[in-house]
C-alpha cells in the first residue's frame, strides 16, 4: 500500500469529521444513491492529489461503494470461479485493509463472482449473482466482513448493476424477471412483483419517494414502469420509448421527481435522452435530445438541478432541466471502452471516468464543463467515481490501482491545517462574483468559477478547524 498523504493530513481530515460535518455516502455503485442521480453533498478535490493508492490486483475494475469511514471494492484477480474475486474493505482515510472475504459458493457451476453492490445502515451488501445466474444476497458486517444474514430469495443482478433502497433502508432488487423488496433486518422478502427487463445490464431500479422505476420490455420498445415501493403493486407505464429492443442503462430520478431515461441501443433512430414528468397517474414526456451510445454508464444532476448526459460526439453535456437545452459541453472524451461513470459534488464540480481500458482516464470539470485536470487510470471501465466523507473520491482501475483523491480545502500555506492563518489569507483574496482568482488565491476557488466569493467562504467554514501545527 502506497500512501501519498502525510499523517498530518489524515489527522486534519479526521478533525473535520469530528467538528460535526454531515457526511454523505456513496451507498450504491451506480449513481451513489437510490435515485441514481450521482450527486454528493461533499466537496470533492480541487487538485490531482492522491491521498492513498493500492489494493489487491485486478484484471477488470468494478465500482466502489462508501459509507462513513469505509470503502469496499471487488477485485477480480482472475476469471477463475469461485476463487478469482475478492471483496476487500479499506479504511477511507488511509487505505489500510480492514478485512477481505469471498462469499459462500452456494451453487457450484452456477454461482458467479463475489461482488459488492451496495452499503448502507451498517451493512455491506454483496452477492455472487451475475452472468444471468441467480444467487443469494448477503449482508456483511462492515467491521469484520462476517455474514449477518443470507436472503431468503435468490436475486439475479448483473455485474454492472447495483441495488437500490427504500427511504427506510430496505433493499430493492431488480433482476431480469422479478422486482423484490428485501427486509434489511433479516433478509426476508417483503414482496415480489414480476417484471420483464429488456436486456442485461439495464435492469437497475431507481427509487424516489414511494415509487420504484424500472425499464421493461414491450412490443413498441423499452418502456418505463412504476411500482409502489410499499407493496410492490404495479401503477402505470410510459409506453414504448424509441422502439427497438436493447437497453443497457438504468434510469435516473431528479430531485424534483423528473424521470430521466437514457434510451440507447447504438442507433440514431432510438438513441435519445428523455425527460418525463411523473404526474402520479402517468409518465408524460417533457423533452428529449439526441444521445450517444454509452452502455453501462451513469448520469448526474448538479446542485442547481442541471442535468449531465453524453452527446453523439463523445462530449459530456449539461442540460437545462426544464427544456433540455444544452447549456454547456465538454471537449470530446476519447475512450476505448464503454461504461462512463459520473459524480457531481456540492459545489457543482463534475468527476468523470471514461470507461476506458488502455485509454482509461479520470476527468475533473467545473460545472460548466471546462476541463480542470485529468489523470490516466488504466482499465477504469466502470470503476468510479465514488464520493465519500470529507470529499474523498475513489477510483478503481486494473492492477493494484485503486486511488483515493482528496484536497484539504482552504490550506493556503500547506501546513495540513485550516486555521486563522488561512482565514486571513482567504480574507485578503476575497473578490466577489467575477472578480478573478489567480495564484495564490486560486486555492480558495473551490468551485472553479474564477472568483473567491461567499460560496467559497461557505466551503471554507466547513473545513476550518482552528487547530495549529
Phi-psi region of 203 (alpha: psi -120 to 50; beta: other; left: phi over 0): alpha
Surface-to-core class of residue 144, CB atoms within 10 Å of its CB (0-12 exposed, 13-18 middle, 19+ buried) = exposed
For the packed helices 420-429 and 454-463, what is the interaxial angle rounded to 10 degrees?
A: 170
Looking at the domain assignment, is residue 415 inside a domain? no
The pLDDT, as a whole number, for residue 393 is 98
Q: Are residues 224 and 159 in the same domain?
A: yes
Number of Cβ within 10 Å of residue 90's Cβ equals 26
Q: Are residues 39 and 170 in the same domain?
A: yes
Identify the domain containing residue 434 by its residue range: 420-463
Return the CATH number at 16. Answer: 2.130.10.10
The pLDDT, as a whole number, for residue 435 is 85
10-residue mean pLDDT profile of the chain (469 residues): values are: 44 45 86 98 94 98 97 97 97 98 96 98 97 95 98 96 97 95 98 94 95 96 97 97 92 98 94 98 98 96 98 98 98 96 97 98 98 98 96 98 93 87 91 86 89 89 80
Rounded CA-CA distance 97/295 in Å is 32
Task: Judge contact between 299 and 254, C-beta under 8 A.
Answer: no
Task: Judge contact between 353 and 343, C-beta under 8 A.
Answer: no
Looking at the domain assignment, is residue 410 inside a domain? no
- Nearest Cα residue to 74 out of 93, 61, 92, 91: 61
Q: Are residues 245 and 328 in the same domain?
A: yes
The pLDDT, as a whole number, for residue 223 is 97
Number of Cβ within 10 Å of residue 284's Cβ equals 11
Q: Are residues 431 and 372 in the same domain?
A: no
Q: Say how many Å lie between the first and final Cα of the chain, rounded.
A: 27
Task: Judge contact between 242 and 266, C-beta under 8 A.
Answer: no
Query: Over the Cα atoms of the chain, what is R_g?
Result: 21
Q: Are residues 386 and 452 in the same domain?
A: no
Residue 184 per-residue DSSP state: T
Looking at the domain assignment, is residue 414 inside a domain? no
- Nearest Cα residue to 342 out of 23, 5, 20, 32: 32
How many domains is the chain partitioned into structurally? 2
The three-point CA angle 328-329-330 to 5° equals: 130
Rounded CA-CA distance 117/126 in Å is 5
Residue 108 per-residue DSSP state: T
Rounded CA-CA distance 140/138 in Å is 6
Phi/psi for 119 (5° steps) reads -150, 135
Q: Which residues contact 426 (CB under 8 A, 6 or more apart)?
A: 410, 412, 444, 452, 456, 457, 460
Rounded CA-CA distance 282/235 in Å is 9
Rounded CA-CA distance 393/406 in Å is 7
Surface-to-core class of residue 305, CB atoms within 10 Å of its CB (0-12 exposed, 13-18 middle, 19+ buried) = middle
Phi/psi for 273 (5° steps) reads -95, 115
- Domain end call among 358, 377, 405: 405
The pLDDT, as a whole number, for residue 22 is 57
Q: Are residues 115 and 223 in the same domain?
A: yes
The pLDDT, as a whole number, for residue 11 is 44
DSSP string covering 14-78, please?
A: HHHHHTTPPP--B-BTTTSSTT---B-SS---SS--EEEE--S-BSB----EEETTEEEEEEE--
The pLDDT, as a whole number, for residue 464 is 87
Q: Are residues 293 and 436 in the same domain?
A: no
Rounded CA-CA distance 210/329 in Å is 34
Task: Judge contact between 391 and 45, C-beta under 8 A.
Answer: yes
Q: Are residues 6 and 74 in the same domain?
A: yes
- Domain end call among 360, 379, 405: 405
Q: Are residues 15 and 73 in the same domain?
A: yes
Looking at the domain assignment, is residue 193 inside a domain? yes
Judge if pTM exceeds 0.75: yes
Report CA-CA distances (Å) from 381 to 77, 261, 267, 400: 15, 22, 22, 15
Phi/psi for 303 (5° steps) reads -65, -20
Rounded CA-CA distance 96/110 in Å is 33
Q: Which residues contact 428 (CB under 8 A, 6 or more apart)?
A: none
Q: Are residues 46 and 90 in the same domain?
A: yes
Q: Are residues 163 and 217 in the same domain?
A: yes
Looking at the domain assignment, is residue 411 inside a domain? no
Looking at the domain assignment, is residue 7 inside a domain? yes
The pLDDT, as a whole number, for residue 461 is 87
Rounded CA-CA distance 434/154 in Å is 56
Hey, what's the torsion of the CAs at 426, 429, 432, 435, to 10 degrees? -150
Q: Are residues 392 and 443 in the same domain?
A: no
- Domain end call among 358, 378, 405: 405
Amino acid at each position: 500500500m502506497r500512501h501519498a498523504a502525510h499523517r498530518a493530513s489524515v489527522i486534519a481530515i479526521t478533525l473535520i469529521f469530528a467538528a460535526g460535518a454531515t457526511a454523505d455516502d456513496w451507498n450504491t455503485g451506480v449513481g451513489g444513491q437510490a435515485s441514481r442521480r450521482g450527486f454528493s453533498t461533499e466537496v470533492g478535490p480541487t487538485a490531482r492529489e492522491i491521498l492513498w493508492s493500492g489494493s489487491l490486483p485486478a484484471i477488470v475494475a468494478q465500482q466502489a461503494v462508501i459509507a462513513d469511514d469505509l470503502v469496499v471494492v471487488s477485485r477480480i484477480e482472475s476469471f477463475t470461479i469461485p476463487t478469482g474475486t475478492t471483496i476487500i474493505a479499506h479504511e477511507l482515510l488511509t487505505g489500510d485493509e480492514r478485512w477481505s472475504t469471498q462469499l459462500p459458493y452456494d451453487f457450484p457451476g452456477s454461482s458467479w463472482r463475489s461482488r459488492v453492490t451496495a452499503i448502507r445502515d451498517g451493512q455491506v451488501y454483496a452477492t455472487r449473482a451475475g452472468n444471468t445466474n441467480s444467487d443469494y444476497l448477503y449482508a456483511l458486517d462492515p467491521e469484520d466482513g462476517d455474514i449477518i444474514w443470507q436472503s431468503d430469495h435468490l436475486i439475479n443482478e448483473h455485474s454492472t448493476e447495483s441495488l437500490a433502497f427504500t427511504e427506510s433502508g430496505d433493499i430493492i432488487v431488480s433482476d431480469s424477471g422479478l422486482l423484490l423488496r428485501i427486509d434489511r433486518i433479516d433478509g426476508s422478502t417483503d414482496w415480489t412483483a414480476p417484471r420483464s427487463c429488456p436486456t442485461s445490464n439495464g435492469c437497475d431500479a431507481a427509487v424516489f419517494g414511494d415509487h420504484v422505476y424500472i425499464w421493461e420490455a414491450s412490443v413498441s420498445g423499452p418502456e418505463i414502469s412504476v411500482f409502489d415501493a410499499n407493496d410492490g403493486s404495479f401503477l402505470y407505464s410510459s409506453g414504448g420509448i424509441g422502439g427497438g429492443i436493447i437497453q443497457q442503462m438504468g434510469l435516473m430520478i431528479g430531485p424534483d421527481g423528473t424521470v430521466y431515461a437514457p434510451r440507447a441501443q447504438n442507433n440514431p433512430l432510438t438513441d435519445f435522452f428523455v425527460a418525463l414528468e411523473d404526474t402520479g397517474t402517468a409518465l408524460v414526456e417533457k423533452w428529449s435530445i439526441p444521445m450517444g451510445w454509452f452502455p453501462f454508464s451513469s448520469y448526474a444532476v448538479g446542485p442547481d438541478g442541471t442535468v449531465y448526459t453524453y452527446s453523439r460526439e463523445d462530449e459530456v453535456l449539461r442540460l437545462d432541466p426544464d427544456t433540455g437545452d444544452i447549456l454547456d459541453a465538454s471537449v470530446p472524451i476519447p475512450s476505448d471502452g464503454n461504461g462512463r461513470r459520473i459524480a457531481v459534488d456540492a459545489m457543482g464540480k463534475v468527476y468523470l471516468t471514461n470507461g476506458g481500458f488502455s485509454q482509461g482516464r479520470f476527468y475533473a470539470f467545473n460545472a460548466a464543463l471546462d476541463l480542470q485536470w485529468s489523470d490516466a487510470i488504466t482499465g477504469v471501465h466502470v470503476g468510479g467515481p465514488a464520493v465519500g466523507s470529507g470529499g474523498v473520491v475513489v477510483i478503481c482501475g486494473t492492477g493494484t490501482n485503486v486511488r483515493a483523491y482528496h484536497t484539504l480545502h482552504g490550506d493556503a500555506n500547506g501546513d495540513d491545517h485550516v486555521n486563522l492563518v488561512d482565514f486571513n489569507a482567504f480574507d485578503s483574496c476575497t473578490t466577489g462574483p467575477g472578480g478573478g482568482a489567480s495564484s495564490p488565491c486560486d486555492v480558495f476557488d473551490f468551485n472553479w468559477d474564477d472568483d473567491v466569493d461567499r460560496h467559497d467562504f461557505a466551503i471554507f467554514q466547513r473545513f476550518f478547524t482552528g487547530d495549529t501545527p
